[in-house]
Amino acid sequence: MNLVIDVGNSFVKIAVFQGDKLIDLLKVKNIEVLKSLRAVRKKYKNMEKAIFSSVGKLRKTDINYLEKYYDTLLLNHETRVPFTNLYSTPKTLGIDRIALVSASVQQFPDKNVLIIDAGTCITFDFITNNNEYLGGAISPGIRMRYKALHHFTANLPLLVTKEPKNIVGDTTAASMHSGVVEGVLLEIDGAIQEYKLKYPDLTIILTGGDANFLSKQLKSSIFANSNFLLEGLNFILQYNTH
């Protein structure tokens, strides 16, 4: 069994894997991590290895607990990964993106894959069928766009994410929903079509907190998997222990 921890911008995900299979998952706030780790250790007594990636910050007490009870791997830019990184500035590549690309290598070997992570930011990551990571794109996520409209204007409200009923908004709120959600959908579908012009056999993965919300609205054929990053972290841990 492996313990996999993903420290995001908003929440911390604590996952337990049996081989490649996800068997337990907790989504907690940063202040709840230590309590949750203790509960997981009590429930799964035979776990020996752990990995964590931190886009946000994991407290020192949490890290100390992990290192005390598990053979712990911190994913960073020195970690051995199962692909060739051709990013021009490899040390600036987000570790969450490294995990996503690793998951694609495991699950879609020898394929041209575009991974779209719709979370706080929307990231696009492309790896070729020759196992070469080329890069991608980063843009504001759905919640960031709603917050920007509210923060940088005098009169626009902060809205809760909602699927627009029509592309033509007939109220200010409806117009904002159309602008944000339809804008994201058109951006994603447009990016996919651009990639397909060069790589017609493209495999597309959609993951992240907004994956389920977006997947039913996208025109393109995709694989939606909200746990893709966790699976990538688990694979990196396995890759570094063999």
Q: What is the rounded distance in angstroms from the CA atom of residue 35 to the CA atom of residue 16?
A: 16
Here the tokens at position 26 are 């907790």
Residue 124 belongs to what H/E stretch? strand 121-127
Tokens 């959600």 correspond to 181
Q: What is the rounded distance in angstroms from the CA atom of residue 65 to the CA atom of residue 16?
A: 16
Question: Of 6, 62, 96, 125, which residue is the catalytic one?
Answer: 96
* Distance, C-alpha 83 to centroid of its chain: 18
The residue type of 137 is A
Task: Let me know: does 108 contact 128? Beta carbons within 8 Å.
Answer: no
Q: What is the rounded distance in angstroms from the CA atom of residue 106 to the CA atom of residue 225?
A: 14
Clarify whether 96 is annotated catalytic.
Answer: yes
Task: To the nearest 10°, report the CA torsion of 32, 34, 40, 45.
Answer: -170
Catalytic residue numbers read 96
